Amino acid sequence: AIQMTQSPSSLSASVGDRVTLTCRASQDIRSDLGWYQQKPGKAPKFLIFAASSLHGGVPSRFSGSGSGTDFTLTISSLQPEDFATYYCLQDYSYPLTFGPGTKVDIK
Amino acid sequence: QLQLQESGPGLVKPSGTLSLTCAVSGGSISSSDSYWGWIRLPPGKGLEWIGTVSYSGDTYYNPSLNGRVTMSVDTSKNQFSLTLYFVTAADTSVYYCSRRRRIGAGLYGIDVWGQGTTVTVSS
């Protein structure tokens, strides 16, 4: 199975900060990567597909980039509602695998 | 708009069988661009993909579950199900049903999620 790693595992930031989260795959997955946001007690929310395409309704402050094995999720100006855990998911091949997540909390 | 709702027992005994159902509303489970699946969140851990089933019954499972899982679709009831055998405390999780949709040629995303249901394995 393809292994996914994410860094950092957690970060503290302030409203208005630009934050960049990193996801790495253990092998080339082209651009078959999605990003998901999860808040405590809630179901995950779909943010980005194909590494860089924003899902409908997702604010434009979110952006994704990368291909092959290295990917990033950037939040250009962190808002109060963005404090959450972010997961990457490779859907290049079964079994689908999630990264361990990056928790973004308030500094 | 498509909605998913999980149902099933919240408590299962060790070595027993966990059975959950996901009701699909606001759309058809027979849609050719949709794949139905289960994902879980163990306490204090990250998301784990359990498996996927297509409307035609094709299945893909996480090998880490060592053959303990089956999934099926009931098109007459517009619902799909998860069965996990020989459960242990490690199977205690919030279980989410989900839709993985083909967004474009070779492009996919898990765009609809149920609210999640907590299943505890304990005697």
Question: In this model, does residue B5 exceed pLDDT 90?
Answer: yes
- Which value, to the nearest 10 degrees, does the dihedral of the CA atoms of residues A64, A67, A72, A73 take? 20
Alpha-carbon span A5 to A101, nearest angstrom: 8
Report the residue of A23, A96, A97, A98 to disrupt the B interface, i.e. the one with the largest count of B CBs within 10 Å.
A96
For residue B63, the chain A residues in CB contact (below 8 A) are 1, 95
How confident is the model at residue B56, as a pLDDT? 87
Band the pLDDT of A68: cuts 50, 70, 90: very high
Condensed to tens digits (0 to 9), the pLDDT of residues B82-110 reads: 999 999 999 999 999 999 999 988 899 99
Structure confidence at residue A17 (pLDDT): 97
Percent of chain A with pLDDT over 70: 100
- pLDDT over 70, % of chain B: 100
pLDDT at residue B7, as a whole number? 98
Q: Do A49 and B47 touch (CB under 8 A)?
A: no
Q: Looking at residue B8, what DSSP letter applies? A: S
pLDDT (0 to 100) of residue A50: 97
A13 has a pLDDT exceeding 90: yes
Is residue B55 very low, low, confident or very high in pLDDT (cuts 50, 70, 90)? confident
Instruction: Give yes or no for residue B71 having a pLDDT over 90.
Output: yes
Least confident span in A13-17, B57-61, B105-109: B105-109
CB contact under 8 A, A98 and B46: yes
Taking CB atoms and an 8 Å cutoff, what residues of chain B touch A55? Answer: 109, 111
Residue B76: band (very low, low, confident or very high) from pLDDT cuts 50, 70, 90 = very high
CA–CA separation, A45 vs A42, rounded Å?
A: 9
Note the pLDDT of residue B105: 87
Distance CA A40, CA B108 (A): 25
Cβ pair B39, A46 in contact under 8 A: no
- What's the rounded mean pLDDT across residues A35-50? 98
Question: How many cross-chain Cβ pairs, A to B, lie less than 8 Å apart?
Answer: 64
Pairing of strands B3-7, B59-61: unpaired
Cβ of B64 under 8 Å from any chain A Cβ?
yes
Q: Provide, as residue numbers in chain B, all residues whose Cβ is less than 8 Å from the Cβ of A53.
A: 103, 107
Judged by CB atoms closer than 8 Å, whether chains meet at B115 and A43 is answered as yes
Q: Taking 90 as the threshold, does the pLDDT of residue B121 lie above it?
A: yes
For B111, nearest residue in chain A (alpha carbons):
A46
Task: Provide, rounded to the nearest whole percent, the portion of chain B with pLDDT above 90.
Answer: 93
